[in-house]
Amino acid sequence: MNKNAPAASETSSGSRPRIVIVGCGFAGIEAVRALSKADVEITLVDRTNHHLFQPLLYQVATAGLSAPAISGPIRHILRKEMQRGNLTVLLGEVTGIDAAGRSVELDHGAERLAYDHLVIAAGATHSYFGHDEWAAHAPGLKTLSDAFDIRRRVLLAFERAERKPEGPRRQACLTFAVVGAGPTGVEMAGMMAEIAHHTLPDEFRRIDSRRARVVLMEGGPRVLSAFPEKLSTRALEQLRALGVEVLVNAKVTDIDAEGVTYQDGDGAVRRLEAKTVVWAAGVAASPLGRVLSQSTGCSLDRAGRVIVEPDLSVPGHPEIQVVGDLAAALNHGVRKGPPTPVPGVSPAAKQMGRTAAANLLRRLRGEPSQPFHYADYGNLATIGRSRAIADVETPLFGRLQFSGMPAWLFWLFVHIYFLIGFRNRLIVLTDWAWAYFSFERQARVVAESDATRGAPAGGEA
């Protein structure tokens, strides 16, 4: 902590317990909603002014949806909770934690907030496996800013190709590499192929956008490895039907402004010339995990996530709970066998947020906390138009695995249902319906950035 930081702000009213919640993702917002009806004082801190429905972020990156369709102002989303008079929302970044003094530091010492209980839901960021220099050439997808950057790169690649003469330099502009074949990578690759093959063919004179190459690179032996092998194989077939080139056992060794160097399954070093590269291969926990570890001595896993107790608290600090992607949590609701790791998906984050809130209220009542039980409803992944795979748990029929149009329709229903706000649901449903019948993508406006301002229009920005 900064010794010269101002004294901790008093945010409590009377003797109400002071609760600070860091992050307004899925876990944070659920914790706020569960706690707001109690006689407590809540302060929610987030680096942005909006909540983001991250499962559809790739749709913004590929011009399928506009940003407001999958996001909303935090203050508006939580307006009912704020009307109860016990919630304060602050725009800022938590940069320090004093576990002994029970306070958090905002913006490197600009302010300190005292707490009686702390819930940390700071989420995750990109991991380049020790090669952070790749980030400049291969952006990841975690924030709206990331989505805008990727959308600009993808759309301007076609514009630059239009300025290039026929040959290798034009083809490099028309080659798109996606590194990592998890759900995000598969969804990105499928949508890029749709843009090239269905949205843009009639909009350029010098180039044929259908000649674009979309290459999905996976270091492991199959795509969507978290799914059963049968569904993984089906996803591979659907990707290839869309025109995506899939390279498995392709381990990336270097990324630069001109493309990707990788080692194939036979150990041979190969080169892919691609002016546009998207990173979807690695996830690391928020740096706040390291800050918490320094303050409390808690252990972190290899991804930087905090290893929590069964009730999601930090060992030795029951007043601090870690939830969402920052928590290395276990599911203690397994009927047979030992507890299993909780996946980093939005349903798990929501459930952790609600469990953390319930345990916090139990402590305030002097009751013992309960271990986290994760209800696994399965996994969904969309590949493209009318193409998806589903592995879901149902109360009547048990585990169901299906693909193609039925899985795609189910995927649409689930994502529209979980969007926050009727307006967002209506906009997304309308945009998807229009895109399905017209193949058009309306969110294709690209604003000039500092990176492109002054660069040659067809050049190597």
**Ordered structural domains, the chain, with CATH:** 8-47+92-124+284-364 (3.50.50.60), 132-281+386-438 (3.50.50.100)
Burial of residue 265 (number of CB atoms within 10 Å: 0-12, 13-18, 19+): exposed
Task: Look at 119-128, 315-324, 413-422 and tell me which has the smallest mean pLDDT.
Answer: 413-422
Task: Look at 161-175, 241-255, 357-371, 388-402 and tell me which has the smallest mean pLDDT.
Answer: 388-402
Q: Mean pLDDT, to the nearest integer, of 299-316?
A: 97
pLDDT recorded at residue 396: 82
Task: Look at 63-72, 337-346, 443-452 and tell me which has the smallest mean pLDDT.
Answer: 443-452
Q: Mean pLDDT, to the nearest integer, of 236-254?
A: 97
pLDDT recorded at residue 4: 47
pLDDT tier, 423 (very low <50, low <70, confident <90, very high otherwise): confident
Query: Which amino acids are annotated catalytic?
Result: 187
Task: Look at 170-184, 209-223, 409-423 and tell me which has the smallest mean pLDDT.
Answer: 409-423
pLDDT recorded at residue 436: 80
Instruction: Please give the span between the terminal C-alpha atoms of the chain, in angstroms, as a whole number.
Output: 40
pLDDT recorded at residue 14: 56
Its sign, for the CA torsion 20, 342, 125, 420, is negative
* Of 454 and 21, more confident: 21
pLDDT recorded at residue 5: 46
pLDDT recorded at residue 8: 54
Q: Residue 272 pLDDT more than 70?
A: yes
pLDDT recorded at residue 335: 81
Q: Answer whether 351's CB lies under 8 Å from 368's CB.
A: no
The torsion angle over the Cα atoms of residues 291, 297, 301 and 305, rounded to 10 degrees, is -40
* Amino acid at position 389, single letter: I
Calculate the average pLDDT of the chain: 92
Report the percent of the chain where pLDDT is more than 90: 83
pLDDT tier, 235 (very low <50, low <70, confident <90, very high otherwise): very high
